[in-house]
Amino acid sequence: MLTNLLQHFPATARAGEEETFDDLLVRPDVKIERIISTGQASPPDFWYCQQQGEWVLILQGAAGLQLEGETEERVLQVGDFVNIPARCRHRVNWTQAEPPTIWLAIHYERAG
């Protein structure tokens, strides 16, 4: 059982082979997950567009996040967070590989 967000990385994350996602809590209206990125980025011309809102916090490393309609990417470093509303197109332009970028992501349904 995962009890420390900065330890116990899967082998594929330690090797930098792929981005990994660990569910920490899953309920009908919320999912909390740890994401470990090791240099991954969204494919060119690809935009995420999720039905749920997503609040993300950088715990380690750094990343470049682009929200559709914004001219500048958001450079996220340790302690930085952003709320991505449901159906807001967004992409990850880059992630720091070393040390790995660790995200805490909270996916939530719309209130009300």
Least confident of 13-17, 34-38, 54-58: 13-17
Q: The pTM is what? A: 0.92
Q: pLDDT tens across 71-84, in order?
A: 999 999 999 999 99
Note whether residue 5 is domain-resident: no
Grouping H, G, I as helix, E, B as strand and the rest as coil, residue 86 is: coil
Q: How many domains does the chain have?
A: 1
Note whether residue 69 is domain-resident: yes
Residue matched to tokens 């996040």: 65
Structural domain of residue 66, as residue ranges?
21-108
Domain of 104, CATH number, reads 2.60.120.10
- Look up residue 17 and give its two tokens: 């082979």
**Helix H or strand E segment including 11:** helix 11-14
Note whether residue 42 is domain-resident: yes
How far apart CA 85 and CA 68 sit, in angstroms, is 12
- Whether the pLDDT of residue 112 is over 70: the answer is no
